[in-house]
A = this chain, B = another copy of it.
């Protein structure tokens, strides 16, 4: 019970402050618990953060996998995937902003996290974006998508989704998400140019 209180509080504080500026003191104040309790459940601040990410990710990753396995048309799958991404990022915008920053994209020298931890995080991203890649690849094979660099294209799509969320262009309501998903899919698939 305390464990969950701590996780909830940590989620809030990490989201608000980022990893570095978040303090254990603030987390325990919000969780209404003692400092030692945090360290009974989590080895350290870093692992507390990781637990948060892991717990929030797993459902999302499962949903995404499910979509990839469906027998649907690629274009339809893409739209579904975009929607699932939006739902997840809308719900976890702040924490994932922090996570993405702390990972530093590539192999950067300094970060709050150990290299081992960073690798774990990166694998999660690579995995989810990889699913987008697979769908695109499938689309190319079926002639629905133009041949292109699916790795970059998937990253592009991903970056747009995340930006829409981070910029607050998408709200929490289902219809807001749906509308956004349609816009994103439309431009991603057909571009902005007039024919």
Contact = CB atoms under 8 A, between A and B. Distances in A.
Interface of A: 16-18, 20-21, 75, 94, 97, 101, 104-106, 108-112, 136, 139, 143-146, 148-149, 152-153, 155-156, 158-160, 162-164, 166-169, 183-184, 187-194
A106 B111 CA distance: 24
A146 B143 CA distance: 25
A163 B158 contact: yes
30 contacts: A17-B110, A20-B20, A75-B193, A94-B108, A97-B104, A101-B101, A105-B166, A106-B166, A106-B167, A139-B192, A146-B192, A148-B187, A149-B183, A152-B183, A153-B187, A153-B192, A155-B164, A155-B167, A155-B169, A156-B164, A156-B187, A158-B163, A159-B159, A159-B162, A159-B163, A187-B191, A188-B192, A189-B192, A189-B193, A190-B191
Contacts of A17: 110
Given A21-B110, A148-B192, A155-B163, 18 more contacts: A16-B110, A18-B101, A18-B104, A20-B21, A101-B101, A105-B167, A144-B194, A145-B194, A146-B193, A153-B187, A155-B169, A156-B160, A159-B162, A187-B188, A187-B191, A189-B192, A190-B190, A190-B191
Nearest to A94: B108
A136 B187 CA distance: 14
A144 B143 CA distance: 27
Contacts of A97: 101, 104-105
